[in-house]
Every structure is written in C-alpha cells, then in structure tokens.
Amino acid sequence: MSGMAVDRAPAGATIPAPVAARDITAVSEAPTSTSLNVPLLRVEDLVKHYILPREHLFEPPPKVEALRGVSFTMHAGTSLGLVGESGSGKSTLARQVMALERPTAGRVTLLGRDLNALSPAELRAARRDFQMVFQDPYGSLDPRQRVGRIVAEPLAAMGSADARTRVAESLDAVGLRGSDAERYPHEFSGGQRQRIAIARALITRPRLIVADEPVSALDVSVQAQVLNLLQDLQQRFAVTYLLISHDIAVVDHLCDEVAVLYAGRIVEQGAPEVLFRAAAHPYTRALMAAVPSVVAPRKVRAASARTPRTDAGSDTLDDPAHIGCAFAARCPDRQSRCVQERPLLRAVAGGHAAACHFAEAVMGRPPAGESPGDVRGVQ
C-alpha cells in the first residue's frame, strides 16, 4: 500500500535489528547490593470491589469482587508475569498499580511511597517512575497527532524542556528513526505502532513499565520482534516489567517470575521454568492443557476429558459467603476440605508457592502438556 511503512527487521529474523549507536541514558543507576534487597514495587492485600447498578428497589446493589487480597513484591530489573483467564483480575490489578483507580483496601507502594496517599501533584510527578504499554497499538495512539507529540506526551505533563531530543532518543532505542517523529500513526505497521507505544512509555526513564497484553493484537512473527525488543530494553536500562498476558508462551519467554490469578486471588507463583513444568495447582494445569498444540485428534479428545473447565462463570465464585476454594466447583481433585476451607498461598517443593490443599500430589503428576515455549516457538 502506498505510503505504508513496514517493519525493517531482516527477513526471517526474530530479534529486532540493532539500533543506532546513540543511546538513552539508563533509567537508573546499576543496582547495588543494598538496593537489590529493597523492593521496587510492593502490593499488599489489595482488594477491589465494584458496585453495580441496583437491580431492585429494595435490595442492595450487587457487588463484584475483582481482587480479593493480592500481595506480591518486585525488585528492580526483574519481570513478573500475570496470567489467567478473562475476568480473573489481571487488568484490574494493573489499574491499581498504575494508580488509575483507588483500591477498596490494601496498599500499592512504589519506591517506598504509597501511591494512593499522594496528592494529585505528587502523583503526577511520581508517574515518571512508572508507565504503561497498552494492548491495542491502533487504539492507544491518537491518529490526529504526529508521532513526536504522542511520544512526548508524558514529558508535557512533567514540564520537560528537552522534549525533541528525548523523543529522538526514545524512537532510536526501539529501532525507529528520529525522522519518524514527523509522521502519523496510520503510516506505520502494527509492530511499529507498538514500538511507538513502548517509546512513549520509555521516554520518562521509568523504573517500572506495566505492559497489558502488549503483543496480543500482533501477528506471531511481529510478536517475537516486540518481545525481544522488550527483553533488550530491560537488559540495557534495568527497567522492571509487570507483564499481563493470557499467553503462557509469552510469559515464559520474558518473565523471571509468574503469578497465576484466578477469581481475584493468586493461586500459584514461582519461576516459569519450575511452575510450567511442575504446576502445583489444578487451575494452572488447566491453563497449560488449554494451550493449542499440534497433536493427534484422539489425544486431543483424551486430554479434553481430563481437563476441567476454566471459565469464570460459577455460582461458587460469585457467592461472597463461600469460604472454600474458588476453583472447587470445577476441580477434578475436589474433596470435602476444598469446599469447607479456603487454601492459603504456601510454599511447596521446587521453590514456588501454591494455594491448594493437595499441591504436593498435584505437583507430582506428569506435565499437563507441552512446554509453553515449544507451543509458540518464540526464540
């Protein structure tokens, strides 16, 4: 198509082409032995409820419990992946971390500051330390603005004077030319648009980038380029990623640690090389079994017969009075204890944690399916 730019990566390459020698100043100084022990991000007992419109005049309005006590910490230069089905609370958690919504209870602390305790002016200044990359590279960029103004938008809110230079450096860091700042988003391909979104997030030299499904709207070949770009930027600038995805292969490729969310709670957490090879929670195994793979139809039917449903529609989930495991209604290993007592997230063998009464027995079974890295072939 005339006027349409295309990705300039070499044919068949899965790693982005090297960028020019000019470099952005590192996001932060190299972490010292002392700073490594201080969490960059701390989420403590985060709860978020949404009140829905009243359905009956004399009844209380219904309530959705999107998050039910989520806690985790992240250190500088690491990456945490959040996986789970739609409705599990991933995007809600991202909005809480970005301070776009106030939690019902709990705290989000970044660099020792409670984000929800800051004044509007203090929060605006603090946003230089955490930025977000959105899912849709087509919808997240204003089609009426030139790329230079889009990328410089976070700087305008902070009163930076060297916007033009910073824009050129950010575009250069993601493999685009400085001259691309004068063009409009429609002149770029999908992969290049997501690179522009990453450049916008990178321009304030953030410590933390929250990426909500950053490659789900892209072709598989372009996904590999963007993922390798994110990995390269992390190595160069020591940026920390909170990656939200429903794609297990993406998380396995990029993240140092994985947290599996179900019904607003973390049900399993650990390093991907351990968690995806020896999952200790039935829901994690159900997610693994749901990953598409090229197998014989007879094997597919056999696996489907053994795999519990993973959808969120359940009376057990929606009942606030339910005290047992939220996954019990569709768990193939359910026992009476699962319905009567909610399992807590606890350490299990292998160095990770799971919220299952029978985690050790589940963990000892053969893997639910292929290695996630083999399914998608991300290099």
Closest to 68 (Cα-Cα) out of 322, 265, 341, 317: 265
Residues 99 and 117: beta-carbon distance below 8 Å: no
Can you give the pTM of this predicted structure? Answer: 0.80
- Of 71 and 9, more confident: 71
pLDDT at 139: 87
Weakest-pLDDT range from 13-27, 110-124, 199-213: 13-27
Closest to 275 (Cα-Cα) out of 101, 134, 81, 118: 81
d(CA 127, CA 277): 37
pLDDT at 369: 52
List pLDDT tens digits, range 119-171.
999 999 999 999 999 888 888 899 999 999 999 998 876 666 678 889 999 99
Helix (H) or strand (E) holding 327: none
pLDDT at 294: 55
Burial label for 316, CB within 10 Å (0-12, 13-18, 19+), is middle
pLDDT at 137: 81
**Mean pLDDT, rounded, of the chain:** 81
pLDDT at 224: 87
Please provide the size of the chain in residues: 379
What is the amino acid identity at position 248? Answer: I
Question: Is 231 a residue whose pLDDT tops 80?
Answer: yes
List pLDDT tens digits, range 51-107.
999 888 888 899 999 999 999 999 999 999 999 998 899 999 999 999 999 999 999
pLDDT at 349: 84
pLDDT at 196: 94
179-185 average pLDDT score: 94
What is the amino acid identity at position 296? Answer: A
List pLDDT tens digits, range 263-297.
999 999 999 998 988 999 999 999 988 877 655 45
